[in-house]
């Protein structure tokens, strides 16, 4: 791994496993990451059906997605830190058990509250990706770390596309949400067995006692912040409820910082959040999370828009959305596996800049050319290239400068800010689309979508610029 001297591994007790064991570990972690990514997006196309099934407004049904997002945001830093303390494999297994339990609850649910409860349990599994990245750093030889991180990170995009395809196939045959969650339950069970049998965890453990006060405060201010962001459109950004949530988030965050600075063994070492090397990695993660999440929301709406009424769109189905994203799946897998070579030559920061530039280019392409199926396929291929390279390098950049016994929490914080970036993307794009509706149809205008594409492209471009500056300031 670039920038991680060999002495660092010796000092922290790092012991690389053999090729056979690391291969089995990577297979298990990649499969688990795929399942986690599937559950994150599989519900999005179901929201219109759930509104009709439960006779509930969109503001209530949106909680099916929001609850999972909040649970993941709160659980990620907690389980990542506990992974450093008690073992990453244990925490991955715990996350997968909760994913399985949540999937079963959703599959048998007959009411909206039960479905939301199940989605909350599923959301905890979002902590699996940073835990997996920490395990890879603990277990793999240095020259294979970036490639392995890239493959596991690529499952975020691959699983997202797979989730859309699965939902599309089922939506064509039934209006029930139950089959979708039985499938995620089966996948979670397979991933659980694979990790239990094949994953190999040799990392040292930090030990110590849990920072319960820090955990409670972190959970409280994250819930307030992300709840305010997710409900900004529905309640109004200047409404008393949203402003109160943001105010509580700021106050609780201040108290949390004060506690973490005073505790001997804090849940989150603040230098891992805003330190000289961490801040740029976390800023890029938030911007790339913004871009990735925007893809799932914007593309789904654009592809399914009726061209006759809207004047744009591809008259597609939910299944078509997943199929259009298949080129992204292929290029993401290919380039995430190649990211290790790029990193070895130019370093993780400049590799991250290249990936971010491709991510910006794909949205720029769609902003200027979006009227044909070929435009969507070109976008998809460019997107997979960009995120395949960027997420592999980002996973390395987030942990390469931290002690081995803090790799889990460092990766967890990076994942947390990516989740926050995704939450902002949903709010920003929804505001733009809602504010530029065509008269008579109520559908967003083509200009509204194109403005969203430019906004997301700008976010990825800023991410590339930050990565370049980081590479110049901290050469490997």
At 179-238, the pLDDT tens digits run: 989 999 999 999 999 999 998 877 666 666 778 888 889 888 888 887 887 777 778 888
Decide which of 272 and 178 is more confident: 178
Q: What is the pLDDT of residue 111?
A: 93
Decide which of 16 and 253 is more confident: 253
Report how far Cα 240 is from the mean position of its chain's Cα atoms: 30
pLDDT averaged over the chain?
84
Instruction: Delimit the domains of the chain by residue range.
Output: 6-210+267-473, 211-266
Q: State how far the alpha carbon of 183 is from the alpha carbons of 104, 105, 129, 177, 197, in Å.
A: 10, 13, 20, 11, 21
Length of the chain: 476
Q: What is the pLDDT of residue 276?
A: 73
Q: CATH code for 6-210+267-473?
A: 1.20.1250.20
Residue 359: band (very low, low, confident or very high) from pLDDT cuts 50, 70, 90? very high
pLDDT at 378 > cutoff 80: yes
pLDDT at 120 > cutoff 90: yes
Q: What is the pLDDT of residue 92?
A: 94
> Residue 31 and residue 33: Cα distance in Å, rounded?
5
Phi, psi at residue 42, to the nearest 5°? Answer: -60, -25
How much of the chain, in percent, has pLDDT values that exceed 90?
32
pLDDT tens digits for 280-327? 888 998 999 888 878 777 887 898 888 888 889 899 887 788 788 889
Q: What is the pLDDT of residue 381?
A: 94
Q: Which residues contact 53 (CB under 8 A, 6 or more apart)?
A: 175, 176, 177
Q: At what angle do helices 326-346 and 373-399 cross, to 10 degrees?
A: 40
Q: What is the pLDDT of residue 9?
A: 39
Average pLDDT over residues 92-103: 96
Average pLDDT over residues 1-22: 47
Average pLDDT over residues 394-418: 76
Quick check: 407 and 12 in contact, CB under 8 A?
no
Average pLDDT over residues 386-391: 89
Q: What is the pLDDT of residue 17?
A: 56
Q: Enter the pTM of the model.
A: 0.78
pLDDT at 476 > cutoff 90: no
DSSP 265-294: S-SS-THHHHSTTHHHHHHHHHHHHHHHHH
Decide which of 324 and 100 is more confident: 100
């Amino acid at each position: 791994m670039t920038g991680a001297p060999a002495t660092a591994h010796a000092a922290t007790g790092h012991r690389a496993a053999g090729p056979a064991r690391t291969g089995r570990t990577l297979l298990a972690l990649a499969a688990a990451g795929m399942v986690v990514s599937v559950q994150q997006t599989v519900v999005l196309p179901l929201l219109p059906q759930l509104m009709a099934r439960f006779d509930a407004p969109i503001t209530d049904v949106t909680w099916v997605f929001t609850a999972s997002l909040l649970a993941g945001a709160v659980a990620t830093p907690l389980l990542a830190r506990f992974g450093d303390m008690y073992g990453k494999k244990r925490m991955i297994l715990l996350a997968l058990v909760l994913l399985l339990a949540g999937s079963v609850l959703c599959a048998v649910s007959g009411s909206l509250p039960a479905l939301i409860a199940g989605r909350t349990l599923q959301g905890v599994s979002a902590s699996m990706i940073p835990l997996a990245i920490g395990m890879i750093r603990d277990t793999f030889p240095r020259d294979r770390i970036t490639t392995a991180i890239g493959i596991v990170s690529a499952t975020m995009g691959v699983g997202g596309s797979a989730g859309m395809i699965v939902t599309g196939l089922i939506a064509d045959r039934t209006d029930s949400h139950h089959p979708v969650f039985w499938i995620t339950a089966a996948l979670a069970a397979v991933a659980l067995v694979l990790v239990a049998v094949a994953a190999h965890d040799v990392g040292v453990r930090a030990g110590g006692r849990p920072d319960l006060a820090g955990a409670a405060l972190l959970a409280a201010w994250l819930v307030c912040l992300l709840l305010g962001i997710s409900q900004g459109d529905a309640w109004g950004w200047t409404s008393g409820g949203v402003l109160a949530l943001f105010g509580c988030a700021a106050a609780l965050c201040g108290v949390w910082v004060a506690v973490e600075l005073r505790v001997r063994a804090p849940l989150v070492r603040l230098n891992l959040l805003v330190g000289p090397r961490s801040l740029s990695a976390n800023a890029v993660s938030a911007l790339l999370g913004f871009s990735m999440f925007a893809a799932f929301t914007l593309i789904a709406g654009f592809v399914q828009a009726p061209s006759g009424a809207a004047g744009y769109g591809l008259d597609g189905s939910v299944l078509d959305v997943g199929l259009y994203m298949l080129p992204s799946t292929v290029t993401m897998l290919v380039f995430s596996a190649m990211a290790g070579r790029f990193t070895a030559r130019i370093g993780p920061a400049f590799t991250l800049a290249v990936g971010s530039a491709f991510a910006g280019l794909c949205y720029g392409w769609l902003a200027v050319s979006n009227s044909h199926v070929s435009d969507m396929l070109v976008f998809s291929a460019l997107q997979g290239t960009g995120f395949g390279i960027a997420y592999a390098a980002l996973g390395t950049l987030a942990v390469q400068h931290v002690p081995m016994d803090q790799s889990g929490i460092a990766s967890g914080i990076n994942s947390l800010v990516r989740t926050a970036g995704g939450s902002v993307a949903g709010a920003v794009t929804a505001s733009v689309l809602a504010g530029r509706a065509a008269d008579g149809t109520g559908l967003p205008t083509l200009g509204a979508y194109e403005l969203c594409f430019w906004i997301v492209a700008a976010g990825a471009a800023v991410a590339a610029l930050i990565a370049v500056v980081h590479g110049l300031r901290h050469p490997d």
